[in-house]
């Protein structure tokens, strides 16, 4: 009987480990760092109309959309949730089940997509979760690739794209255009210019692109 109880206890312990959620980054192990960059909020500008009645406050002045601070000692998932400009991208990550990945220690490099490209992608409704996950996983790369590291990799292989492994097991290509700007590509004609260079996070690096790059 005792042996049976021990066996049951071991099985329950194994099951608990197998069913436990993926490990989250421990904030107590992150060195505090108050340095910050900023994510501009530009997607609301297309809906702005100046006030026609001179007696009302002008919306752009009264209800400004400030930049979102990006603190170096915060994880990627917190920064994404805090940004107005990345609200649609964040919601899509939730639907695809990928936001939980960005709570882990990583490191990860995220090429986040602003609201307007995401709205064009989701026009007519979000795709099925499997399709959404396959698409958005293409914007999350395993490993930390700050701008300085990408520059070194590009210098080591001039004229050739850098191959970056995605969390979905795929590969995304990154190269510099003739003007020296970073551009993501899938090798089949799709391109997504990088809008904001890498902002360091506690579990990786955050970039913003100007369009959504779907897997080929």
- Rounded Cα gap, residues 111 and 51, in angstroms: 36
**Which residues are CB-neighbours of 111 under 8 A, at least 6 positions away?**
139, 140, 141, 172, 184, 192, 194, 207, 208, 209, 213
Per DSSP, the three-state class of 2 is: helix
Query: For 59, phi and psi rounded to 5 degrees?
Result: -60, -40
Look at residue 184 in the predicted model and tell me its pLDDT: 87
Calculate the CA dihedral of residues 63, 67, 69, 70 and round it to 10 degrees: 140
Sketch the domain layout of the chain as residue ranges. Answer: 66-209
Thinking of the domain 66-209, which architecture would CATH place it in? Roll (2.30)
- Rounded Cα gap, residues 25 and 17, in angstroms: 17
Per-residue pLDDT of the chain (216 residues; tens, 9 = 90+): 555 444 434 444 343 333 434 566 545 445 555 565 667 777 666 555 566 666 665 555 545 677 777 777 788 999 999 888 898 999 999 999 999 999 888 799 999 999 989 988 888 777 888 888 988 998 999 999 998 898 888 888 777 888 999 998 888 888 888 887 888 888 777 888 888 888 888 899 999 999 888 765
- Rounded Cα gap, residues 164 and 75, in angstroms: 21
Strand partners of residue 193: 183
């Amino acid at each position: 009987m005792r042996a049976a109880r021990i066996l049951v206890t071991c099985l329950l312990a194994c099951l608990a480990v197998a069913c436990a959620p993926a490990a989250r980054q421990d904030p107590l192990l992150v060195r505090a760092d108050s340095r910050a960059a900023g994510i501009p909020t530009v997607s609301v500008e297309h809906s702005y109309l100046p006030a026609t009645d001179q007696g009302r406050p002008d919306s752009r002045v009264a209800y400004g959309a400030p930049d979102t601070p990006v603190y170096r000692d915060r994880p990627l998932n917190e920064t994404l949730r805090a940004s107005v400009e990345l609200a649609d991208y964040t919601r899509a990550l939730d639907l695809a089940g990928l936001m939980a990945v960005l709570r882990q220690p990583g490191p990860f490099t995220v090429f986040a997509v602003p609201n307007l490209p995401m709205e064009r992608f989701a026009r007519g409704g979000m795709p099925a979760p499997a399709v959404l996950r396959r698409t958005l996983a293409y914007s999350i790369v395993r490993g930390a690739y700050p701008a300085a590291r990408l520059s070194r990799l590009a210098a080591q292989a001039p004229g050739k794209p850098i191959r970056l492994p995605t969390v979905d097991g795929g590969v995304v290509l990154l190269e510099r255009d003739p003007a020296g700007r970073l551009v993501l590509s899938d090798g089949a004609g799709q391109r997504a210019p990088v809008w904001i260079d890498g902002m360091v996070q506690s579990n990786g690096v955050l970039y913003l692109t100007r369009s959504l790059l779907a897997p080929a």
